[in-house]
């Protein structure tokens, strides 16, 4: 059975998340339904990351095995045809070796979190960005965020329902920058804990509005205590941007 690597973009707003669920729509279910329509048999879709309800993707990666041996472009176009009207698009399909696994072969995941600091409500960006009604100090947020780089016990920024074996993770890079009225946080690591990025963002916003200092933020990290986390940022502004693989 030929294996195909899929690069996927989606608006997470109408979905309960990536993972298939019994009584709620998911991105995985939409893709599996489209793949079955293409292949004529049930198809399992394996994703690189299980994004939460409302979280978006610009470059989620998945793989599928099909009975039919089709050109990669045909797989892409046929899946997109059967995905309508769901807000999911297969940007690229690629034939890969059987050893490739979207989740276990991944070496790094890249996330983006978007914030707009303005008083008026959002219109065009509603559901796509977190509106913070107070001015954010992006430089202060960036400075405080550097305490997260490296290997740490991220219990403070770990959701209570997280099923990871250990709270210890290594964050490779994190940056906060301003682009007009938009503040963007980007971060990269091999893997993340459940709601880790949204938890870090929410606490960094406490720095950005002047409630916390960089010292307060580092103390919260070092405490390894979930109760020391600031408010968790909403799903609206979070995007899985890309997933890296060996020799890619």
Tell me the catalytic residues.
52
Among 52, 57, 6, smallest CA distance to 241 is for 57
Alpha-carbon distance 213 to 156, whole Å?
17
Alpha-carbon distance 104 to 144, whole Å?
31
Among 184, 179, 199, 8, smallest CA distance to 90 is for 8
Cis before residue 85, ω within 30 degrees of 0?
yes
Rg from Cα positions in the chain: 19
Q: Residue 47 CA to chain centroid, in angstroms?
A: 12
Cis before residue 161, ω within 30 degrees of 0?
no
Among 6, 80, 51, 27, smallest CA distance to 245 is for 6
């Amino acid at each position: 059975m030929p294996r195909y690597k899929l690069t996927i973009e989606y608006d997470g707003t109408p979905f309960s998340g990536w993972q298939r669920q019994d009584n709620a729509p998911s991105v995985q279910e939409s893709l599996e339904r489209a793949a079955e329509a293409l292949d004529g048999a049930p198809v399992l879709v394996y994703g690189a990351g299980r994004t939460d309800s409302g979280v978006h993707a610009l470059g989620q990666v998945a793989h599928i095995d099909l009975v039919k041996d089709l050109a990669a472009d045909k797989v892409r176009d046929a899946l997109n045809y059967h995905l309508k009207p769901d807000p999911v698009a297969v940007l690229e399909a690629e034939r890969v070796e059987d050893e490739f696994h979207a989740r276990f072969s991944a070496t790094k995941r890249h996330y983006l979190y978007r914030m707009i600091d303005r008083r008026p409500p959002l219109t065009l960006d509603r559901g796509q960005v977190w509106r913070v009604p107070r001015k954010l100090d992006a430089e202060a947020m960036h400075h405080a965020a550097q305490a997260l780089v490296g290997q740490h016990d991220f219990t403070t920024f770990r959701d209570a329902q997280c099923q990871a074996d250990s709270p210890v993770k290594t964050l490779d890079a994190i940056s906060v920058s301003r682009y007009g009225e938009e503040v963007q946080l980007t971060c990269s690591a091999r893997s993340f804990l459940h709601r880790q990025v949204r938890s870090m963002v929410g606490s960094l916003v406490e720095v950005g509005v002047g409630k916390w200092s960089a010292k307060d933020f580092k103390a919260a990290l070092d405490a390894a205590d979930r109760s020391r986390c600031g408010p968790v940022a909403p799903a609206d502004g979070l995007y899985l941007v890309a997933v890296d693989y060996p020799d890619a």
